[in-house]
Amino acid sequence: MYCFPFAGASSWPFVDACADELPIDVRRDTEFWLVDVRGYEPIGERDVATRLPQLLKNVLGCIGSCLVPPYAFLGHSMGALVSFELARQLSDADIEGPRHLIMSGHRAPQLPRAHHSVHGLPESEVLAKLQRLDGTPLELLDDPEAMALFMPRVRADLAVCENYLYAASEPLSCSLTAFGGIDDPEVSRIELLAWRDLTRGAFSLHMFPGGHFFPHQCQAHVLRVLGQDLRTVLRRIR
């Protein structure tokens, strides 16, 4: 399983929890790999990608031939958008794509965005959004030196999401599971249900207590459902 984290993140402790705490039968048959999408940008490039096509070109060029079937994608927030579009590009390139997608904390991408763009606004506006989503540690938000390093990536990642334009195409053939937070201010249950229109495979939706970062807020619950979901996928692909 290739795991794609949210905007601003180059690491994701939840992936470590998957590798350590999922049921033993799931862990025995599953390897978890973190994908840092910014880690594939050309070294020395003056400007980082702020649009998804360029970001995907960098990622696909580096890992497209290294993906080991059968595999799945798990993405949260920005990671859901990136991994979904990567699955579509793999299909277009005649590369064997994921057998299963877990799209977490992101509306179905064919739906219009309901929130205004913030990536180009003053830092106080960007910080207000991060605080509202409640996923950035307070010690980071209160550390000016750390924020000076963190903010450019956050802005670039938010720009990727906010500049995104959906292009209609055939539904994917893989199964898809959507995860969402009951109190997420960014993504509603109806917006998550719309993911079912993007696949010809099996679809399921699971809602969890918490906001946008519900995987952190109720980790044990999410891991329990994730384990059941992966167990079903493993039975199907064996």
pLDDT block averages, 10 residues each, the chain of length 238: 93 94 96 90 70 92 85 97 96 90 98 85 84 75 78 91 94 97 96 98 97 95 98 92
Domain that holds residue 219: 2-237
Which residues form the catalytic set?
77
Quote the pLDDT of residue 194.
98
CATH code, domain carrying 91: 3.40.50.1820
pLDDT score of 116: 80
Under 8 Å between Cβ of 196 and 174: no
Q: Which pLDDT value is given to residue 201?
A: 96
Cα separation, 185 vs 165, whole angstroms: 22
What is the token pair recorded at 207? 């809602």
pLDDT of 6? 94
Q: What is the pLDDT of residue 43?
A: 56
Q: At what angle do helices 144-162 and 123-133 cross, to 10 degrees?
A: 80
Q: What's the domain count of the chain?
A: 1
Q: Indicate the pTM of the whole model.
A: 0.93
pLDDT of residue 228: 97
Beta-bridge mates of residue 172: 199
pLDDT at residue 149, rounded to an integer = 79
